[in-house]
Amino acid sequence: MFVLAHGQHLFSENSPPILTLDRSWDIPIFEPVGSIITRVKAFDQENDTLRFGLEMIDPNKKNPFVIDPETGVVKLKESLEKRGGEKFLMYVTVNDGHLTMKSEVFINIKNSNGNGTKDSSFNKSPRPGYYPPYLLPNHPIVQQQQPQPDIVSPPKIISTLEHVIPTKQKTEKNFITTVKQDEEDEETMTTTSPSPPPPFISTKINVTANSTNVSSNEIAYTIIPTAVVCGIIFSTVLVAFLFRRKLIKYRNKMQKDDLRKESHGGIILEDPIAMHHWRGPRAFSNRYEGWDSDRAPMNEDQNPPPIQNDRDIIKPGDKWEFPRHHLKVFNILGEGCFGQVWRCEALNIDGREGTTVVAVKTLKESAGEKERKDLLQELEVMKSLEPHPNIVRLLGCCTKKDPLFVIMEFVSLGKLQSYLRNSRAERCYGNMHGESKTLTSRDLTSFAYQCARGMEFLSNKGIIHRDLAARNILVNNDQVCKVADFGFARDIIGSHVYERKSEGRLPIRWMAPESLYDNIFSVKSDVWGFGVLIWEIVTLGSTPYPGLAAADVMRKVRDGYRLEKPEHCRRELYNIMYYCWDKDPKERPSFQELVTLLEQLLLSETDYIELDRFPDHSYYNMISLSGEKL
């Protein structure tokens, strides 16, 4: 555990020093006085003069060590002969003249007989070796308080029998047995533990002389019912386990059948039902023809297909409604399990005369009523938004009859995730300021800043995205990032919190702990996902938590594990990610604060992402095998 102590300062004025040391010291009881126990090392980014120190956590314990304040060499200053078996905690400190970092160390003084070995319950923290302070503009440093691990060790046992017991069995070497004569008929056995750390244990058992012989019938009456109950419990658990295993296999088979329907190779050979009306002469003509030219014309007063939800009913005078016969399809841009996005041309849309290239989102033939409602929900969210440079714009919709069309602006370079991965493959990066055709550190920092601005706009409108990731950010030719894909988005302006109750594929690697385990989503859970998005940008589109399965990610995130700092990323930028991953949602920064922090990085002349040090071997892209969203 690392603790940052003392002082207050603004963001980026002075970074804390970083300690490197062995946090578990096993020392023999006969270790000579003056011998070197360990060497503590520290690093400070500002190259300040560092001074080391030692602090006892328990003031009643005597410190047997001394540390050189300049070199960090820890030596034994007094004999440990009378302290065998002791285990205690202390702090190793380092101060750079501004801040003091503390690292907790476990000391285990071993007896000559081998007792006092390291407690297996003492494990190192799964977090990175440095827990950065929560630094925000005009905010003081909050000391990170973490509970100390309990030191539990088996006490030595001294047994005293106050009556002569006729036996020839030898006691174990860790027991001392004293036999005394007594005229009474009772035997008293007292067990105590002289070990200081655990609480004092005193147990007295009074046994009559006649109770030493237990009949075999009493043993049978006790063992047989116990065995029967255990057998019933074991059988029940076994049956439940086999049933659950069979159920999981059935669900996995159904999921695989659904995934087989998904196209992985681009355009599917069989046109979906949403595109059936684009067959025929339109493929060989540049004219805009009526959608139903080969059928009887549809009257304006004809009712659209029934919609179960009153909220989904489209009003007659909807300004967003666009005539579908003014659309002409070209090619598919992308698709998921139930939806597709097509590149089209629209005639006289968005107040412009002539044709405009647009992106049209629609449903696949395998989609059901739930997916239809989700698309209408996404449409309602986009209708409520004013134009913003970092949000994909809605241009119109076709909802009077099926298939539903959501018409959006066309963003030329596509997904940010693919854009970053393609730039990594080109192997031509530059760390220069100003215009450049290759990706620079400033470009990547700007991507994070623009995404923060878009999310600030959404959060101010009371909207949570719930699926913020590089795959849902689009980039145009001017390298402007736009937040897209509002299929998961919800309007929470009333309660500020949304509880998920439906099933579906989840972006596990981008989700906060409260979303993973409690199905609770808020603006602060979007902030968590934004921290993972910055990590994606820094690693040029790598999959978060590489090498871990989805279940392992969920467990490790719950236990406090966080994505490690990429070696080519500066501490200032990684700190911003780390603030977003606070376990307490209330302690995470707002998007307004994130915009301010990233803007400060953009205004400086420092390259916070050293692309020439990018380690290709350390990051890779994963293919989803468990149904999670990647």
Residue 469 has a CB neighbour count (10 Å cut-off) of: 22
H/E element holding 460?
helix 441-460
Catalytic residues: 467
C-alpha closest to that of 577 among 611, 612, 613, 529: 529
Residues whose CB falls within 8 Å of the CB of residue 563, separated by 6 or more in sequence, listed in order? 532, 535, 544, 545, 577, 581
Sign (positive/negative) of CA torsion 362, 365, 366, 369?
positive
CA 457 → CA 431, 484, 510, distances in Å? 30, 13, 20
List the structure tokens of 294: 């080969």
Amino acid at 26: D
Helix 441-460 × helix 523-538 angle, to 10°: 170
The verdict on whether residue 261 carries a ligand-binding annotation is no
Residues 40, 196: Cα–Cα separation, whole Å: 28
C-alpha closest to that of 454 among 423, 475, 478, 477: 475
C-alpha closest to that of 40 among 54, 20, 26: 20
Residues 392, 339: Cα–Cα separation, whole Å: 18
Would you say 563 and 545 are in contact if contact means Cβ atoms under 8 Å apart? yes
Residues whose CB falls within 8 Å of the CB of residue 126, separated by 6 or more in sequence, listed in order? 556, 559, 560, 561
| DSSP reduced 3-state for 163 | coil
C-alpha closest to that of 490 among 482, 501, 481, 480: 501
CA 129 → CA 13, 434, 557, distances in Å? 22, 36, 16
Would you say 51 and 99 are in contact if contact means Cβ atoms under 8 Å apart? no
- Residues belonging to the binding site are 361
- Residues belonging to the binding site for ATP are 361
